[in-house]
Amino acid sequence: MRAGCIHIGWFALSPLVCLEPQAAAAATNAVVMASATATITTDLYWGLGAGALVFAGLSWLIPGRKAWSLAAFHRKKVKNVVVGDDGERVAALASATFEAIMIHRDGIVVDGNPQLAKLLGRPLKDLPGTSIFDFLQNGPSIDVATVTTFNDDTIHELVLVASDGERIPVQARGRDIVYRGERVRVGCIVDLRDRKEAEQRIRHLAQHDFLTGLPNRALFAERVGELTERGASFAIAMVDIDRFKDVNDIHGHQAGDAVIRETAARLQRLLGPDDVVARLGGDEFAVILTSAHLNAQIEDFGHRLLRSMAEPIELVSGDIVLADVSIGGALCPEHADDLDGLVGRADIALFHAKQEGRGTSLVFKPGMNELIEKRRALEADLDLAILRGEFELYLQPRVDAATAEIVAYEALLRWHHPQRGLVPPGEFIPVAEASGQIVALGEWVIAEACRLSGGLEGRRISINLSPLQFRNSRFVSRLAETLKATGAEPSQIELEITESVLIDDDKRALQVLGDLKQMGFDVALDDFGTGYSSLSYLSRYPFDTIKIDRSFVSNLGVVDSAQVIVRSIIALGNGLGMRIVAEGVETIEEALFLTQAGCDELQGYLLGRPAPVSERLTEVRPAIAMQLNGMAEATRGSKNVRSGQMQEREAV
Ligand code: C2E
Ligand code: CA
Ligand code: CA
């Protein structure tokens, strides 16, 4: 054996690793079979493994020459190639391999194996004499002509056009061989369709979310990257389901999944043809609005999404869930011109939307950042504040409209921040709600109010509850513990809740409200008239008190309809046997109108501002008390006259 000669053994296997698994298996078999009998020169061994052997087994034609067959080849005992007695077996390997193989000279096909014919969809006998350029086309990164110039083992992707016109991605490589002074070329072609399909499937899996089928974070980033690279003007919107954790906690994870899928579907329905919605994880979605160039266009998308999410979602269990979302948007290039910048800005807007309450959509504005920093700082301080005793309850009087006497106090939380001074609840309650600290803070408020309740000359105290506190599964039991520990009398305490508690989870809210009533508390519906304000809540829930929101009271002298609305709330509440409290009473005119309209209690700066317990008001200023008494008298009088007239009419 001369130096260039190798004996086919496992060495021949090493080039196979880059082949399709089936091809490699076939080639391995071929090697095993052939190694016993054949020794082939490096000229013939051209790195394709299976192809090397198959080459030896091909019956091939060289145009203008006599037909060659392997048998003839054997008989002639060609120099360098020593084939054993079973050359025919080796010839059979040509058709046994999974790869398509062809031999061409200067691009004109000399011969091929059945696999080539199959791939092309043409009979083998028709192939000799055709140009390889008739069925091979340039690949994604190289052209056919160039591939034919390489004489090494490099693999290139080309396109093979089958007789039916199908464009098949193939992997090709070739090598020149010299036979009897004649230079020809052997090419090996591997069908890449299966691999491409598998790659496509894997890529899809890697770039899409399993639950919704939407693009995932990676694909979202890729799409945004493509747009920013092009210098496109577009918008992104971050979308987050409000209080999604509650859906999971209350209705279970399957319900959570259903809500996510439904949200995904509704989002998709709102998109334009080039827009993209991705699920970033959990209850977070991101949208690319390719044709949005203005704040107003993001706002419009936000409104449409909020409207679509206002439709209840019906679960398989039959339960109904309302899944609001918060939306934060940012424009490219106005707010940022790269992925991180855009997502960061939209996230800031989203954070603000969350703070403003559920179901809000906001577009990024410069300056939003500092507000967030401030909130972060507050959040960090809140933890220590409870321990350090920086909180205090102020009391604001609630006044009986008929007698002008203080009958109750609303407990309003104040934070004495060591650096910032007195921080109003409007600033830190939303922060505590967002961070979950509200539960501990709320427990402190309840305990403090319970401790105060016995020492208020028989007056009741009302406590504000955050919806988050109310929804906490341990709320009722902790409340019972606090009552026991403080010895407070529940009939002296009123708990103020807002409508959002009822909307979030109707069934549970009814249950908790029932428990609270059972324990002996009064329950008030706070801020009535804001938010959803469905009058149907009033008949369905066992409220003792309705607190008419300040916005109606302050509009009494301004907007005509305010008087009508206030009168109807009072009539409705009275009809249901509920106590009506008007909040934010600042002028004597408001107080007199409300008294005359039948309001039971008044609360507002006119009657007394919130003050520390030791400085709390115990009586209303005499001038105001006198006017209220006068109005109450007159109202009673006119009522008596009216009822007297009615009696007379009935008597007649
Ligand atoms: P709210 O429950 O509606 O409380 C009434 C708010 O209106 C109080 O603001 C009170 O100071 C203010 N107010 C009372 N009368 C007048 C008036 O005549 N004119 C005007 N302009 N305002 C008046 P405050 O104390 O800043 O509390 C704001 C909100 O913070 C409260 O609104 C309540 O939602 C929340 N909050 C206060 N304390 C607590 C608490 O202990 N726990 C929880 N969860 N929330 C609290
Ligand atoms: Ca309140
Ligand atoms: Ca209120």
Which residue has the least CA distance to atom 37 on ligand 1?
412
Atom of ligand 1 nearest to the CA of 445: 41
What CA–CA distance (Å, rounded) separates 12 from 31? 8
List, in sequence order, the alpha helices (H) in 208-252.
217-229, 244-251
Q: What is the residue whose two structure tokens read 């999410």?
A: 309
What CA–CA distance (Å, rounded) separates 450 from 460? 10
The pLDDT confidence band at residue 176, using thresholds 50, 70 and 90, is confident
Taking the CA atoms of residue 110, residue 114, residue 120 and residue 122 in that order, the dihedral angle to the nearest 10 degrees is: 80
Q: At what angle do helices 87-96 and 21-35 cross, to 10 degrees?
A: 180
Average the pLDDT over each of 304-313, 553-562, 595-604 and give the range with the smallest value: 553-562
**b vs e for 30-47, b when ≥16 Cβ sit within 10 Å of the residue's Cβ?**
bbebbeeebbbbeebbbb
Q: Identify the bridge partners of residue 320 per DSSP, sorted by sequence position.
A: 314
Give yes or no for a contact between 565 and 582, defined as CB atoms under 8 angstroms apart: no
What CA–CA distance (Å, rounded) separates 128 from 112? 8
Give yes or no for a contact between 543 and 523, defined as CB atoms under 8 angstroms apart: yes
The pLDDT confidence band at residue 179, using thresholds 50, 70 and 90, is low
Residue-level pLDDT at 27: 38
Residue 527 Cβ inside 6 Å of ligand 1? The answer reads: yes
CA distances from 428 to 413, 423, 472 (A): 10, 7, 19
Residue 437 Cβ inside 6 Å of ligand 1? The answer reads: no
2 pLDDT exceeds 50? no
Positive or negative, the CA dihedral 136, 137, 143, 145 is positive
59 pLDDT exceeds 60? no
Q: What would the two tokens of residue 526 be? A: 């706070």
Residue 153 Cβ inside 6 Å of ligand 1? The answer reads: no
Residue-level pLDDT at 5: 30
In this predicted model, what pLDDT tens digit does every residue of 501-520 receive, in sequence order? 776 667 788 889 999 999 99
Residue-level pLDDT at 94: 62
In this predicted model, what pLDDT tens digit does every residue of 133-149 receive, in sequence order? 999 999 999 999 898 88
Alpha carbon 15 to its chain centroid, in Å, reads 47
* H or E stretch covering 325: strand 325-332
Residue 462 Cβ inside 6 Å of ligand 1? The answer reads: no
CB burial of residue 243 (10 Å; 0-12, 13-18, 19+): buried
Centre a 10 Å sphere on the Cβ of residue 451 and count the other Cβ atoms it contains.
15
Residue-level pLDDT at 536: 67
Find the ligand nearest to 529 CA. Answer: 3
Atom of ligand 1 nearest to the CA of 394: 25
Residue-level pLDDT at 93: 62
Residue 335 alpha carbon to ligand 2 centre in Å: 38
Q: Which structural domains are found in the chain, ordered by start? A: 8-87 (no CATH), 97-196 (3.30.450.20), 213-366 (3.30.70.270), 379-646 (3.20.20.450)
Positive or negative, the CA dihedral 159, 162, 168, 172 is negative
Rounded mean pLDDT, 511-540? 83
Residue 367 alpha carbon to ligand 1 centre in Å: 26
On average, the pLDDT of the chain sits at 83
Centre a 10 Å sphere on the Cβ of residue 422 and count the other Cβ atoms it contains.
10
Q: Identify the bridge partners of residue 530 per DSSP, sorted by sequence position.
A: 528
The pLDDT confidence band at residue 435, using thresholds 50, 70 and 90, is confident
State the maximum Cα–Cα separation within the chain, in Å, rounded to a whole number: 140
Residue-level pLDDT at 260: 97
Vertex 624, ends 623 and 628: CA angle to 5°? 120
Q: What would the two tokens of residue 44 be? A: 């013939």
Give yes or no for a contact between 253 and 263, defined as CB atoms under 8 angstroms apart: no
246 pLDDT exceeds 50? yes
Average the pLDDT over each of 266-280, 343-357, 389-403 and give the range with the smallest value: 343-357
Which residue has the least CA distance to atom 41 on ligand 1?
413
Give yes or no for a contact between 630 and 636, defined as CB atoms under 8 angstroms apart: no
Residue 426 Cβ inside 6 Å of ligand 1? The answer reads: yes
Residue 608 Cβ inside 6 Å of ligand 1? The answer reads: no
Atom of ligand 1 nearest to the CA of 425: 30
What CA–CA distance (Å, rounded) separates 571 from 598? 8
What CA–CA distance (Å, rounded) separates 398 from 526? 14
Find the ligand nearest to 425 CA. Answer: 1
Rounded mean pLDDT, 419-429? 92
Please state, for a pLDDT cut of 70, what percent of the chain lies above it.
82
Atom of ligand 1 nearest to the CA of 606: 18
How large is the C-alpha radius of gyration of the chain?
42
Please state, for a pLDDT cut of 90, what percent of the chain lies above it.
57
In this predicted model, what pLDDT tens digit does every residue of 67-116 receive, in sequence order? 333 333 333 333 333 334 444 554 566 666 778 998 898 899 988 889 99
Give yes or no for a contact between 247 and 321, defined as CB atoms under 8 angstroms apart: yes
Maximum average pLDDT range among 1-10, 170-179, 309-318: 309-318
Nearby residues of 461 by Cβ (< 8 Å), 6 or more positions away: 395, 408, 409, 410, 411, 449, 452, 453, 492, 493, 494
Give yes or no for a contact between 80 and 5, defined as CB atoms under 8 angstroms apart: yes
648 pLDDT exceeds 70? no
Residue 174: closest CA among 125, 90, 105, 91: 105
The pLDDT confidence band at residue 642, using thresholds 50, 70 and 90, is low
Residue 604 Cβ inside 6 Å of ligand 1? The answer reads: yes
List, in sequence order, the alpha helices (H) in 11-165.
21-35, 50-57, 70-75, 87-96, 114-120, 132-135, 144-149
Find the ligand nearest to 466 CA. Answer: 1
Residue 424 Cβ inside 6 Å of ligand 1? The answer reads: yes
630 φ/ψ angles, rounded to the nearest 5 degrees: -60, -45
What CA–CA distance (Å, rounded) separates 196 from 202? 10
195 pLDDT exceeds 50? yes
Atom of ligand 1 nearest to the CA of 433: 44
Vertex 343, ends 380 and 286: CA angle to 5°? 110
Residue-level pLDDT at 436: 87
Q: What would the two tokens of residue 152 be? A: 């090494």
Alpha carbon 462 to its chain centroid, in Å, reads 38
Residue 216 alpha carbon to ligand 1 centre in Å: 43
The pLDDT confidence band at residue 534, using thresholds 50, 70 and 90, is low
Atom of ligand 1 nearest to the CA of 498: 34
Q: What would the two tokens of residue 360 be? A: 């809000």
Give yes or no for a contact between 56 and 90, defined as CB atoms under 8 angstroms apart: yes
**What pTM value is reported for the model?**
0.58
Residue 385 alpha carbon to ligand 3 centre in Å: 25
Residue-level pLDDT at 41: 32
Centre a 10 Å sphere on the Cβ of residue 343 and count the other Cβ atoms it contains.
22
Nearby residues of 610 by Cβ (< 8 Å), 6 or more positions away: 394, 395, 396, 410, 412, 414
Residue 570 Cβ inside 6 Å of ligand 1? The answer reads: no
Residue 366: closest CA among 351, 347, 345, 352: 345
Average the pLDDT over each of 373-382, 405-414, 541-550, 572-581 and give the range with the smallest value: 373-382
Atom of ligand 1 nearest to the CA of 412: 38
What CA–CA distance (Å, rounded) separates 2 from 279? 64
Residue-level pLDDT at 504: 60
